[in-house]
A = this chain, B = another copy of it.
Amino acid sequence: MNAVPKAPEPQLTRSVEDYLKSVFHLTNQGGFATTSDIAAMLEVAPPSVSGMMKRLSETGLIEHVPYRGVQLTPQGRRAALQMIRRHRILESYLTSKLNYDWGDVHDEAERLEHAVSEKLIERMADALGEPRYDPHGAPIPTAAGEIEETELATLADTEVGASVILREVGDEHPDRLHYLAEQGLTPGVRLTVVDRQPFNGPTIVRLNEGMTRVVGQELALLLLCRPVGSDGE
């Protein structure tokens, strides 16, 4: 008689949401997320991960291959992308509307993403004009659960002489982000690689405006770039 009211969608705990996000990020390049990588990312002990993986595969959110690792099921992926959308919309909203610094949004979003309703996220997205990238340049999944996948190279992998656009900063540590902003290294900026020191030494780049920056290996690995001319948005 009655239409079946969709799937119940079981209402996840904060902890489960965090595990799913971790698995998503760790499997983004394909393959399995390992117990110890998840443990490191969430700062818990490995047995906690084993235990949670067991529960999550029982509820069908992940596929667990013992001693190999885990992958998200379609359902788990949907949940993870929803959390990532929440996180990135929140970051965008905080920077645009409440004057947050891009280094400070991550922690706030990390707590809020577990508490906001779908409705609130969509209101925020709407108020922002449905942004496609967060303040760090990361793509925001759509409400339907699609996410743009682009191949980006790190600045550390960019060859000397190449010109690139800095598209995304793959880091969330306030200190590093503050430093990068001071240096003018924010998404959208155009960079030309002038030189690189040997033995994983720093990369020397020239910005748009002609200024020069010396970027150490550690930071250069966080700066994700696209060659100039391979079309931007």
Contact = CB atoms under 8 A, between A and B. Distances in A.
A14 B63 CA distance: 32
A117 interface: yes
Interface in A98-115: 98-100, 107-108, 111-112, 114-115
Contact of A98 (B94, B108, B124): B124
A25 interface: no
A116 interface: yes
A65 interface: no
Contacts of A111: 115-117
A116 B123 contact: no
Contact of A112 (B116, B123, B124): B116
Q: How many residues of A sit at the interface, in one of the four size bands?
A: 10 to 19
A127 interface: yes
Interface in A158-197: none
Contacts of A228: none
Interface string A86-104: 0000000010011110000
A108 B117 contact: yes
Nearest to A117: B108
Contact of A120 (B98, B114, B116, B124): B98
A35 B124 CA distance: 40
A206 to B, nearest CB: 36
A202 B36 CA distance: 66
A153 to B, nearest CB: 35
A98 B127 contact: yes
B117 A115 contact: no
Of residues A116, A120, A124, which shows the largest number of chain B Cβ atoms within 10 Å of its Cβ? A120
A99 B99 CA distance: 20
A111 B119 CA distance: 13
